[in-house]
Amino acid sequence: GAVVSQHPSWVICKSGTSVKIECRSLDFQATTMFWYRQFPKQSLMLMATSNEGSKATYEQGVEKDKFLINHASLTLSTLTVTSAHPEDSSFYICSAAEGAGNTIYFGEGSWLTVV
């Protein structure tokens, strides 16, 4: 079946630095990828929709200059958390939509801890 890979699974960074998280669709082309964050015992919160070859669409309240999204190819989208702060510590998850169907596949998620 379709597989979405995220890297890194875990990352610890110092406050003020930037961190990049990669999301790859391994066996299908994804024109659309989604980035979520999830706090403990909370629902998934959509941050932005990443469209290949165009600018990402951010949800209300999400700072586009802080969470930079790049979707340069049909199999890779990246999320860069710039000038990270402890409150950015969270579980970040990407998902990718395969073709024209409605099935969406999720990556394993990336735990970010900012110290």
Partner 1 sequence: SQKIEQNSEALNIQEGKTATLTCNYTNYSPAYLQWYRQDPGRGPVFLLLIRENEKEKRKERLKVTFDTTLKQSLFHITASQPADSATYLCALDAGNNRKLIWGLGTSLAVNP
Which residues of the shown chain bind partner 1 in the complex (CB under 8 A)? 4, 6, 32, 34, 41-44, 46, 49, 57, 91, 93, 95, 97, 102-109, 111
Q: Which helix (H) or strand (E) holds 13?
A: strand 10-13
CB of 69 to partner 1, least distance (A): 15
* Shortest distance, position 83 Cβ to partner 1, whole Å: 26
Least separation in angstroms between CB 95 and partner 1: 8
* Nearest in space to 112 (alpha carbons), one of 73, 82, 71: 82
Closest CA to 71 of 27, 26, 31, 111: 31
Task: Tally DSSP H helices, then E strands, for the chain.
Answer: 0, 11
Q: Which is nearer to partner 1, 16 or 33 (CB)?
A: 33
